[in-house]
A and B are shown apart, each in its own frame.
Chain A
Amino acid sequence: AQTVTQSQPEMSVQEAETVTLSCTYDTSESDYYLFWYKQPPSRQMILVIRQEAYKQQNATENRFSVNFQKAAKSFSLKISDSQLGDAAMYFCAYRGSIYNQGGKLIFGQGTELSVKP
Chain B
Amino acid sequence: KAGVTQTPRYLIKTRGQQVTLSCSPISGHRSVSWYQQTPGQGLQFLFEYFSETQRNKGNFPGRFSGRQFSNSRSEMNVSTLELGDSALYLCASSLAGQHPLSTEAFFGQGTRLTVV
Contacts and interface: CB of A to CB of B under 8 A. Distances in A.
Interface string A37-63: 100001111110010100000000000
A116 interface: no
A23 to B, nearest CB: 13
Contact of B88 (A43, A52, A103): A43
Kindly name the residue among A33, A45, A95, A106 whose own CB sees the greatest number of chain B CB atoms within 10 A: A45
Interface residues of B, number: 27
A80 B2 CA distance: 31
Contact of B92 (A101, A105, A108): A105
- Chain B binding site: helix, strand, loop or mixed by DSSP? strand
Interface residues of A, number: 26
B76 to A, nearest CB: 15
Interface stretch (B15-23, B63-71, B78-86, B101-109): B101-109
A11 B80 CA distance: 39
A25 interface: no
Interface of B: 31, 33, 35, 42-45, 48, 50, 55-56, 58, 88, 90, 92, 94, 96-98, 100, 103-107, 109-110
